[in-house]
Amino acid sequence: MARLWLYLRPVEDIPPRATADVDLGIDRQGLRLTATTERVRPLLEAQQYTALPGDEGFRFRKSFGDGEALLVDVFVAKGASREEPPVLEKGVVTLAAPGLTYALACHPYFVDVDFVDEDTTTAMELPLPTLDAAFVLKGALVESGVRTRPDRRRRDRVDAIMLAAACLTDDEALEALRHAQNKEARRALRWMAERVTHAESPVAQTIGDYLHDEHDLPGGADWAVEIAAALTSATRARQ
């Protein structure tokens, strides 16, 4: 999601962060999934994905001949299941993703993508969350604090700031965020306004370190603060 949007809305000269997995946000009510139905897992298994055991049963893995693997994670919106952890469908327990309620309420944005594997090219039409929803998904995730592993927290912060910068170049995304009443959207914006206020803040330092380490770019912490201030100002303009 983040990588594709940052190809569609490039942020200065910063390449999108590489990713090794795919997240699927499942509209449980829209698909009429219950604890006795089976729809998502059979589709993944038909493409040679297998569910990981134990607590990671929401993750599906497909191995390739060169020893590589692709992971697919399935999530539902908060409140989509009365159970905890949430039930996706028969035999699949998953996680509730912050921001997914907002994303599912928006119309998907379809992108034509060609996947190239040596001499094989596969054309696909991928449904993405809208750009504003992509920011909300990452911003709400960071704000929630549910991911505590340093590497994952770093990735989430980088994606949130990069997507915020992309939103500043997109009038539709800004307009949607200005008028968003969804609690997850407001939390993502509040996180940006309150946690990225100066270059010494943990989030700004994370961006500074990332841009320096990965792309040899200086001034990343100050840049993150500028992006946060600009998005906060732009989304408060009509409130």
Same domain as 199, residue 135: yes
Same domain as 160, residue 59: no
Residue-by-residue DSSP string for 59-118:
EEEEE-TTS-EEEEEEEE-TTS-SSSSPEEETTEE-EEPTTHHHHHHSPPEEEEEEEEET
**Residue 10 domain flag:** no
Domain that holds residue 81: 19-128
Same domain as 124, residue 94: yes
Same domain as 24, residue 115: yes
Same domain as 45, residue 115: yes
Same domain as 137, residue 182: yes
Same domain as 93, residue 194: no
**Residue 203 domain flag:** yes
- Return the pLDDT at 239: 42
Same domain as 98, residue 155: no
pTM of structure: 0.92
**Residue 11 domain flag:** no
- Return the pLDDT at 171: 96
Mean pLDDT by 10 residues, the chain (239 residues): 93 86 92 94 94 89 84 94 92 94 94 85 92 97 92 95 97 96 95 96 97 95 98 79
* Residue carrying structure tokens 């134990």: 54
Q: Please list the residues that pair with 112 across neighbouring strands.
A: 125
Same domain as 166, residue 98: no
Question: What's the structural domain count of the chain?
Answer: 2
Same domain as 138, residue 120: no
Nearest C-alpha neighbor of 30 from the set 85, 72, 76 = 76
**Residue 12 domain flag:** no
**Residue 182 domain flag:** yes
Single residue among 79, 109, 128 that ends a domain in this structure: 128
**Residue 5 domain flag:** no
- Return the pLDDT at 55: 81
**Residue 14 domain flag:** no
Same domain as 123, residue 32: yes
- How far are the Cα atoms of 38, 46, 68 from residue 43, in angstroms, in the given order? 9, 5, 21
**Residue 1 domain flag:** no
- Return the pLDDT at 18: 83
Single residue among 128, 155, 180 that ends a domain in this structure: 128
Single residue among 111, 128, 145 that ends a domain in this structure: 128
Same domain as 135, residue 217: yes
